[in-house]
Amino acid sequence: MPLWSHDSGPRDHGFAQFNDRCPSFSPPPMARAEPAYAPLPESTSHPLGVARGQVNKTYIVAEAEDGLVIVDQHAAHERLVLERMRRALDGGTIASQALLLPEVVELEEPACDRLEDRMAELAEFGLDLERFGPNAVLVRATPALLGNGDVKSLVTDLADELAAFDQALSLKERLEAVAATMACHGSVRAGRILSVAEMNALLREMEVTPHSGQCNHGRPTWIKLAHGDIEKLFGRR
């Protein structure tokens, strides 16, 4: 039957009933992604591909010439920061960034004692501490590599890390543990929205950084689904 009649006008009763039965449509969910027509880099020079978007504010999704790459942004950046700190230590000490206002961090006295005993070592990392009474330390500067992080959390975690040190650990092993703790505080967190430019910059640095395929705790920082693997998931093979 035609939807329009010269006698009765538009026959919209069916549409009215449909609209009565169905809930109103909500706007589509918002998402961020790079246009798919952005050129792909050659897999030989850039195996991690080009960023296409971000999932759950935690995982970078990139398109490579030979498949799909998913990167854990926190784990990957944590490894990059650690490797930067290692290179800086090999060259001497890590540059510090003075706080505009020194921050007082209150801790239990044994924790303050541990930090006081290691102040010279921590200074090599750019962390300038001063004892401030029995139950506090004064933070005058932090490692420039870490940016503007949570100073209290950093110092508290370092105090806990020092408590876990075995006295038999070598200085190098202790420094590695301190570097790993600092790197965690200096890395981008899960839950942070990254621009496409930031995502691509992280991918490029990963490609030229040794050991970037594993985080500081030994877990993978990225995985790749080859084109063949994706086709199998969809039953194309």
| Average pLDDT score over residue span 24-40 | 66
Please answer whether residues 34 and 196 qualify as being in contact, where contact means their C-beta atoms are separated by less than 8 angstroms: yes
Domains of the chain: 50-77+190-233 (3.30.1540.20), 95-186 (3.30.1370.100)
Please provide the average confidence, as pLDDT, over all residues in the chain: 84
C-alpha separations of 229 from 51, 77, 237 in Å: 20, 27, 9
Give residue-wise pLDDT tens across range 55-86: 999 999 999 999 999 999 999 999 999 999 88
CB contact set of 26 (below 8 Å; sequence gap of 6+): none
Q: Which pTM was predicted?
A: 0.76
Percent of the chain beyond pLDDT 90? 49
Alpha-carbon gap, residue 129 to 107, rounded angstroms: 13
pLDDT bin (cut points 50, 70, 90) of residue 18 is very low
